Amino acid sequence: MSNLYSNIGKRVPKLDAPDKATGRARYPQDLTLPGMLHGKILWSRYPHAKIVNIDTSEALKIPGVMSVITAKDLPYRNSGFMKDNPPLKRDKVRSLRDEVAAVAAVTEEIAEAALEHIKVEYMELPGIFDPEEALRESAPLIHEENKNNLVKMKYKFEHGDVEEGRKHSAHVVKGRFKLHFVTHTCLGTCCCIADFDSKGKLIMYSPSQVPFLHQKDMADVLGMSGSDIRIIQPTIGGAFGSKLDLYPYEIICAHLARIAGRPVRISFTRMEEFCCTPTRQPAIIESEAGVDADGKLTFREAHIILDAGAYVSWGPTIPYVMMNSFSSLYRVPNVSFDTTIAYTNNIYAGAFRGYGNPQGTFVVETQMDELAELVNMDPLVFRILNSNRPGETTPQGMKVTTCGLEECLKRAAKGINWHEDRRGVTGKIRRGVGLASFFHVGGGARVYRSDGCGAIVKIDDFGQVTLITGSSEIGQGSETVLAQITAEELGVRVEDVKVINSDTDIKPWDVGVHASRTTFIAGNAARIAAAKAKRKILEMAAPEMGLQCDELDINNRFIYYKANPEKRVRFDKILRKKHFDYNGNIIVTEHFYDPPTQRQDRNFKGNVSATYAFGTQAAEVEVDTETGIVRVLKMVVADDVGKALNPMLLEGQLEGGIAQGIGYGIYENLILDKGRVMNPTFLDYKIPTVNDMPEIKVEMVETHDEEGPFGAKGIAESGSIPTAAAIANAVYDAIGVRIKGLPISPEKVLKALSKK
Amino acid sequence: MSNLYSNIGKRVPKLDAPDKATGRARYPQDLTLPGMLHGKILWSRYPHAKIVNIDTSEALKIPGVMSVITAKDLPYRNSGFMKDNPPLKRDKVRSLRDEVAAVAAVTEEIAEAALEHIKVEYMELPGIFDPEEALRESAPLIHEENKNNLVKMKYKFEHGDVEEGRKHSAHVVKGRFKLHFVTHTCLGTCCCIADFDSKGKLIMYSPSQVPFLHQKDMADVLGMSGSDIRIIQPTIGGAFGSKLDLYPYEIICAHLARIAGRPVRISFTRMEEFCCTPTRQPAIIESEAGVDADGKLTFREAHIILDAGAYVSWGPTIPYVMMNSFSSLYRVPNVSFDTTIAYTNNIYAGAFRGYGNPQGTFVVETQMDELAELVNMDPLVFRILNSNRPGETTPQGMKVTTCGLEECLKRAAKGINWHEDRRGVTGKIRRGVGLASFFHVGGGARVYRSDGCGAIVKIDDFGQVTLITGSSEIGQGSETVLAQITAEELGVRVEDVKVINSDTDIKPWDVGVHASRTTFIAGNAARIAAAKAKRKILEMAAPEMGLQCDELDINNRFIYYKANPEKRVRFDKILRKKHFDYNGNIIVTEHFYDPPTQRQDRNFKGNVSATYAFGTQAAEVEVDTETGIVRVLKMVVADDVGKALNPMLLEGQLEGGIAQGIGYGIYENLILDKGRVMNPTFLDYKIPTVNDMPEIKVEMVETHDEEGPFGAKGIAESGSIPTAAAIANAVYDAIGVRIKGLPISPEKVLKALSKK
C-alpha cells in the first residue's frame, strides 16, 4: 500500500536543514530590533533568604543603563502552575535561581556590569533541600502563607483492589528508586525579545513551544488581554519541554521593555541555562508489584515523592503521565498510585520529553525484570505474556485501538540477539542485554479543554501550496512532516508546500508542542484542510475534463482520470484557469482538528488520547567491573509508529531520544549541593557525544492507526522513555546487580558490586 | 441609516499612523539581513550611445567589493510592458537612466566608489528627444531591430460618427495641449533587498504595490517559477503608481544577490529617485469638440502623441484610461480617439495616480469651458446639462449604476461661491473660479484577466480578528478601511482587527494596488469573508441562546437578540465556549471577490468596472498679472464616494490628491534637456508645501452603490485628476487667457498675457 504514496513514507530531509546548516536560520539571539536594549537578571545570592533592601541607585547611574527594575516596579501577579512564582521576588528568595532585580542597557556588557552595582541586603534563612525533610514539622517554611511545605496537589489513582492483587500474588517485589536532576541542554539557550508597539500591544519574539498558551499566560501576568499579545517564534534551538511554561525572564523582559520604552532582549549564558532553567522532575518512587504463579501481573502500587523546588512549574504535574507507566504499561488488574509533593529550596523542575514517563518506566521495567526472574521466566516471554493488546481498555480508561507492543518486543529482542549467550565473556568486562517497553499517548492528550489544531491551506496560481498551521517547529521536523502530509493529500510534491507556523496573529490556534501530538493532531488538521482543497480542485477540473469529480484523482501535480491515468491535466493549469476565469476563484480551505478524546475525570480516568504508542528498546551493554564504567554497545528500538511518514525523521527523532535516554541512564546528572548547581558547564555536565553513542537499529512497526494521518501515531517523546530502564536491565544481566538510582554511574556500579 | 454603523462612517485614524509617527515603522531602508551587501548601479553617461567595452577589473580589486556585474552576467531576458528593457544594457544605452553595470559591496560607500573604477567605452550616437521628431524618417533608431521609432501599440477608439457630430455642431473648439514630465516624489525612495534562501528560492523585500504581479514578472525575467519567489513588503513610503512595474534595479539586485551568494540591498539616493524612476506620461493632445445650439455635446475627437522614452513601461499604456475622459466624462454621442507613441532618448514614463486621466481631463475640461463660452452658457449650467446620469451606458460600454455628478457639480460650485462676482477685484491681482469634473473607475478595473482579491478571516478565542488580505498598504490607508469593514460586518470594534497584508506566501492573491480598487475589491472580499464568519458565530450562538440564527445580530462585541437587545452574550465568550467544547471549532473563513465586470474588447468597449466614480473640483485662484504667479486660494472637492467609510481618510486622500494636482497644475515640472533631468532635487523641483496649499473643502456625495462594500466606491486617484483643469479654468476666469500647457508657470502666464 505504501507504494501508492508519493510523499508519505519517503526519506524527505528536513526542510529547515539547509538554512540551519548554512547559518541562515535566525534564532532569537540573531535578531535585533531598532533601539533594542539588552536585559540581564540579578539572581539570588542565597537559596533561602529574606530580602531586606535593594538599592539600585548606583546601577542606574551607569551610562548606558536605561532601566533597573525590582519587584516594586511590577504588579502583584505571579506566574507558574500554582501561581506561586513572582517574576521578581518581593520579600524573600527561595532558590538560587530566584530573580531579584533586572537591568536593561544598551549593551549586554553594560547590563552585566550594572548588576554588580545593585546592592541587595539579605537575611539568610535556613534552607531545605530534600523533599522528605521539607515535610517534617520542624522544617523552615518556604512559602510562609502555607502552613507547611506540602504542595497542594495530589495525584491519586486507584483501580481494582491492590490488596486482593497482593493476596493472589505468587511473588512480590518492592523497591525504592531515586531519580535525579537532569537538564535539557538545548543548544539554543533561553532568549526572548519583548517589544511594545505604538498602541501598547506587546510583540514577544519567543522560543515558546506553546505560543497560544504563552499568549494567554503572558496576558494574565501582565494584566493585559491576550489579544494584545502577539507571539512570534524565531527559529527555536531545541525545547524538549523546557519551553512549555512562561518563565520569569520573559515577564521581566516585557516589563523592562515597557518601562524603558524600547525593545529588550534577554539572552541566557550557558551557565544561566544550566542554573536557571527547569530540570527534569527528580523523584523518589516507592513501588511494589506482584505476579501470580502463571506469570501474570497481579498488582502495582506506587508512591511518589516529588521535590517541586521553590516554585511549581510543570515538574510536579508529571505524575499525570507517570501514572500511565504504572497503570497502563502491560496489563495489570489492580493499581494504586499516589503522590506527595514538597517545596524545597532547590531549583524547580519543568516539563521534559516523556514527562514523568522515563522515571515511571524505569521503575516499572526494572520490576518487570525482577518479577520475571522470581517467576522464572525469560524477561521477553514474561513481557509478551503481559503485553497490551489491541481492543483493550487500560485501568485509566485509555482505549487501545491499535497496538504493536508484542511485535515491538519480538523485533527489539531479535535485533539485539536476545538469545545469544553472552556468559562466555568473562574477566573484568561483562556483557548483558536488557529490554524495556513504553506506553505513551500517540494521538494527542486532552490535558487542556481543547487538544485541537487549526490549519489553513492556500494554493496560488503557480500551484504553490501554503500551509498555515497552528503548530510550531521546534527542531522536531514538524514542518517537513506537515508538508509531506499536505503534499500527499493534494497530490503534489513536498517542495510545492511552504509551511507558515511562527506568528500567533497569522496561524490558527493550537495547544502547542507537547505530548508527542504534532504529527497526529496538526497532521490531521493539515490533511483534512488539504482534502477540502483537493475536493474543490477536482470540482474545478471535472467540467474541464468532461468527467465527474469522483472519477478523478491527483498525483504528482496532475489531475488524472482514474480509469485512464493518461488522460490528465496539470494541477497548476486548472488553478490558473479557474483563478482567471470570469467569476474567478482561488483555493483557500481550513480545518480545525480536535481529536475524539476526553479529559480525564477526577479519578484520572478517561480516554485522553485518540491512540496510544507502544514500543520496546533493547540495550546491549558492557560493564567494566574494575572501573564500574558502563558502555552501551547497541540499542535496538522497535516502535509502533502507526505509519512511518518519514522514516529518516523518525530515525532521527528516535536516535535523538535514545541519546537523551543514554544520558539520563548513565551520564547526565545535574549535581545540586544546598540548592546550588555544582556542574553548570558542558565540561562538568556530561552529555553523550558521538563517541559515546552506540550503534542504533530502528525497527518500525506499522499498525496503521485508523484515526492517525495516513495511519501515523505520535512518537516524538518515546525515544527517551525506556532507554535508561533497558540499560539498567542489561547491566543486571551483565553483572547481576540492580541499580535503583540514576545515572548508573561507575560509583554506583562499584558500590553495588562491592555489596554483592 | 449611517447611524446604525459602529465602525463605518467613523473618523478612525490610520492604524499605521502611530508607528509611522514614532519611527517604529520599518521601511526597506531600515531593514538589514545578516551578511547583507549594498548594491549600486552605474548609470549611462550618454542618452544614446553604443557600448564598446566595459572593463570591471579595477572595480573588482577594491577591498569590500563582492561582485561587479554587466549584461554579460545576465541571461537574455528583458522586462517592461513590451519586454524591450534589458536589466543591464548589452550593446547600447538609450537614455541616461540606462543601467550599464552594478556593484555589490560591504558598504554603500565602497559600492559607490567602485562605480568610478568601472571603465565604460562608449561611442556616442545622436539622440532624439521629441516624439514627433522621433517619427521622422531620418531620425536615428533607438531600438535598431525595429524599422522606426514607433512603439507598436495603438489605442484607437471610435463611437458614433464624429463627422456627423461635427456637422450638427453649432460651435467647435480645437486645441493642441502639451503635458509635461512630472515625477512621483515618493518620500520613500526606491529600495529593495534580494535574498536567496538555501534552496535557491528568492525572497524579495520589495515596495511593490502589485506583489503578485511582481512575483510573476520577476520569475519570468529570472527564468524561475513564480512559486520560487516570495515578495515581502516592508512599510512602503508612497507609491502613487511608481511601484507598479518591475524595474531593472530590482532585477539587478536579485542577480547581484545570486552571484554574491549574499543578500543585497539597492537603495536609491534622492537624485537617483528624480533621474532614474518613471515619470507621469507626458503627452501632446490634439483635441476637437463640438456643441449644438442647445448646449449639448456633439462630438469629441482626440489624437494623442506620447513620448515613451527609451523603453515601454506603463506610461504608454495610459491611453487606456485617458480615453475614458474623452469618451465618458459628460454625455457625448460621437467620439474618436487614437494614439501615436514614439521611442525617444528621454527617461521613460510609468504609472502615476490617475493614469492618463489628469492629462485627458485637463483637455476635456478646458474645452468644456471653451464650449460653454461659445454657446454662451454658464460653465456650471453647461456641465449640468451634459452631466452623466445614473442608468446610462457610456460610449465605451461602461455601465453607470450610481452617479452623483450633478450633485457634485452643484456642491462644488456652491462651496466656491460660484456666482460671486469677482470682477470687483481689479489692479494687478485678479481672481477667478473654475470647475472641472472627472470620470474614473470606482469598482476595480478588469485590465488583467482577474480583478479579484482574496481575504481570510481568523478569529481567536479572545475575540481578536485577523484579516489576511491580498491587498497592500502603500500608505493609502487600506489597512484601516479594511479593518473597519471587517469590524462592522462582524459587529466588533476596529481595534479588534489586525490586518496581515505583506507576504505573498501568506496572503491570498490580489492583483495589486491600482485603479482605485482596494476599498472596493479588497473591501468586498473582507466583507464577505467576515459575513461568513459572522454566520458561523451566530450558528454557534443560536443554540446557546435558545434562539434561531436569524433572530440574532452582533454589535459592539455582543451577540444579541434582535427583538430584545438586552438579551445578549459576549462575542468572545461564545467563541471560547465553542473552541473549548468537545469537538471544538474555531472561526476561519475566506472569500475571493472578483467583481462582475468584463475586460474590454479590441474596440475598447466593455464594462471594466463594477461602478464608476464621479466628482467635481472647484478652484478659486489669484493671478498676479505683473509676475504671472498663480496662487490657489481655495479648492472645493465634491466627490461621489458611494459611501464615506472613513471621512477622515477620504479627506486625507482627497487633500493629498489635490496637493499633487496643484503641483501638476502650477508648480511641478521635471525639466529634461537632451534627456537629462536638470532639476533633480527638491530645491529645484518645486512641490507644493504647506505654505502653498489653499483651504480645501471636501464635500462627500453618497450615492450608496449597491455593489460597493457598505455602498462605497473607490476614489483613491480622483483627488489629483481634475485639479489642474479646474485651476486652468479659474485662471481663464481671472485673466481671460487659456494656458494649454502645464504647469501654468509665471512664464506661460506672462507670455499668454502679452500675446493677448
pLDDT at B460 > cutoff 80: yes
Domain B2-24+452-593 and domain B283-445+600-755, same fold? Reply is yes
Q: Among 3.20.20.70, 3.30.365.10, 3.40.50.880, 3.90.1150.10, what is the CATH number of B2-24+452-593?
A: 3.30.365.10
B301: nearest Cα among B279, B274, B273, B333: B333
Q: ∠ CA A336-A340-A341 to the nearest 5 degrees?
A: 140
User: Rounded CA gap, B405 and B718, in Å?
Assistant: 13
> Domain ranges in chain B?
2-24+452-593, 31-125+187-238+243-275, 283-445+600-755
User: Rounded CA gap, B324 and B357, in Å?
Assistant: 8
User: In this structure, how many other beta carbons lie within 10 angstroms of the beta carbon of residue A123?
Assistant: 10
- Say how many CB pairs under 8 Å bridge A and B: 141
Amino acid A424: pLDDT: 66
Q: Are the Cβ atoms of A586 and B452 closer than 8 angstroms?
A: yes
**Quick check: A29 contacting B, CB < 8 Å?**
no
**Quick check: B584 contacting A, CB < 8 Å?**
yes
Amino acid B3: pLDDT: 54
Which phi and psi angles does B544 have, rounded to 5°?
-60, -35
Measured in angstroms, the CA of B21 and the nearest CA of chain A are apart by 9
Q: Are the Cβ atoms of B584 and A590 closer than 8 angstroms?
A: no
pLDDT tens-digit profile of A644-668?
A: 999 999 999 999 999 999 999 999 9
A727: nearest Cα among A660, A656, A666: A666
pLDDT tens-digit profile of A186-242?
A: 999 999 999 999 889 999 999 999 999 999 999 999 999 999 999 999 999 999 999
Amino acid A37: pLDDT: 98
Amino acid B510: pLDDT: 97
Amino acid B1: pLDDT: 39
When CB atoms are compared, the residue of B23, B454, B594 closest to A583 is: B594
Query: Hey, which residues does A191 pair with through a beta bridge?
Result: A267
pLDDT at A2 > cutoff 50: no
pLDDT tens-digit profile of A175-184?
A: 999 999 999 9
Amino acid B118: pLDDT: 98
User: Rounded CA gap, A342 and A281, in Å?
Assistant: 12
pLDDT at B266 > cutoff 70: yes
CATH of domain A279-445+600-755: 3.30.365.10
Peptide bond into B565 cis (omega under 30): no
Chain A's closest residue to B468, CA to CA, is A506
A 432-451 residues with CB < 8 A to B: 448-450
Report residue A597 as a C-alpha cell: 478524546
Amino acid B2: pLDDT: 41
**Quick check: B569 contacting A, CB < 8 Å?**
no
Round the average pLDDT of chain B to a whole number and report it: 96
pLDDT at B426 > cutoff 80: no
**Quick check: B506 contacting A, CB < 8 Å?**
yes
A618: nearest Cα among A465, A730, A500, A734: A730
User: Rounded CA gap, A558 and B95, in Å?
Assistant: 47
When CB atoms are compared, the residue of A22, A448, A466 closest to B198 is: A22
Q: Are the Cβ atoms of B18 and A594 closer than 8 angstroms?
A: no
> Using an 8 Å Cβ cutoff, are B282 and B356 in contact?
no
Q: How many residues does chain B have?
A: 756
Q: Are the Cβ atoms of A508 and B463 closer than 8 angstroms?
A: no
Amino acid A756: pLDDT: 84
pLDDT tens-digit profile of B83-116?
A: 999 999 999 999 999 999 999 999 999 999 999 9
When CB atoms are compared, the residue of A461, A506, A583 closest to B466 is: A506
Give the strand order in the sheet containing A92-93. Answer: A92-93, A49-55, A119-124
B 453-482 residues with CB < 8 A to A: 454, 456, 458, 460-464, 466, 468
pLDDT tens-digit profile of B158-178?
A: 999 999 999 999 999 999 999
Residue A504 with chain B: CB contacts under 8 Å: 460
User: Rounded CA gap, A576 and A572, in Å?
Assistant: 6
pLDDT tens-digit profile of A71-129?
A: 999 999 999 999 999 999 999 999 999 999 999 999 999 999 999 999 999 999 999 99
Q: Which residue has the cell 523542575?
A: A349
**Quick check: B200 contacting A, CB < 8 Å?**
no
Peptide bond into A282 cis (omega under 30): no
pLDDT tens-digit profile of B544-561?
A: 999 999 999 999 999 999
**Would you place residue A3 in the very low, low, confident or very high pLDDT band (cuts 50, 70, 90)?**
low
pLDDT at A1 > cutoff 80: no
Residues 6+ apart with CB under 8 A from B490: B457, B459, B465, B530, B533, B534, B537, B554
Round the average pLDDT of chain A to a whole number and report it: 96
Measured in angstroms, the CA of A694 and the nearest CA of chain B are apart by 32
Region of A116 on the Ramachandran plot (φ > 0 left; ψ -120 to 50 alpha; else beta): alpha
pLDDT tens-digit profile of B268-278?
A: 999 999 999 99
pLDDT tens-digit profile of B216-263?
A: 999 999 999 999 999 999 999 999 999 999 999 999 999 999 999 999
Share of chain B above pLDDT 70, in %: 99
pLDDT tens-digit profile of B382-409?
A: 999 999 999 999 999 999 999 999 999 9
Q: Give the strand pairing for B49-55 and B119-124.
A: antiparallel
**Would you place residue A274 in the very low, low, confident or very high pLDDT band (cuts 50, 70, 90)?**
very high
> Once rounded to an integer, what is the mean pLDDT over residues A452-480?
97
pLDDT tens-digit profile of A284-315?
A: 999 999 999 999 999 999 999 999 999 999 99
Strands (E), B106-170: 119-124, 157-159
pLDDT tens-digit profile of B308-336?
A: 999 999 999 999 999 999 999 999 999 99
CATH of domain B283-445+600-755: 3.30.365.10
Measured in angstroms, the CA of A575 and the nearest CA of chain B are apart by 12
> Once rounded to an integer, what is the mean pLDDT over residues A116-145?
97
> Using an 8 Å Cβ cutoff, are B280 and B664 in contact?
yes
Chain B's closest residue to A511, CA to CA, is B580
When CB atoms are compared, the residue of B500, B586, B590 closest to A505 is: B500
pLDDT tens-digit profile of A484-511?
A: 999 999 999 999 999 999 999 999 999 9
Q: Are the Cβ atoms of B590 and A594 closer than 8 angstroms?
A: no
Amino acid B424: pLDDT: 66
**Quick check: A225 contacting B, CB < 8 Å?**
yes
> Using an 8 Å Cβ cutoff, are B741 and B727 in contact?
no
> Once rounded to an integer, what is the mean pLDDT over residues A429-444?
97
Task: For domain A31-125+187-238+243-275, give the fold.
Answer: Aldehyde Oxidoreductase; domain 3 (3.90.1170)
User: Rounded CA gap, A531 and A519, in Å?
Assistant: 17
When CB atoms are compared, the residue of B197, B462, B598 closest to A225 is: B462
User: Rounded CA gap, A79 and A94, in Å?
Assistant: 15
Measured in angstroms, the CA of B463 and the nearest CA of chain A are apart by 7
DSSP single-letter state for residue B741:
B
Report residue A231 as a C-alpha cell: 507571539
**Quick check: A13 contacting B, CB < 8 Å?**
no
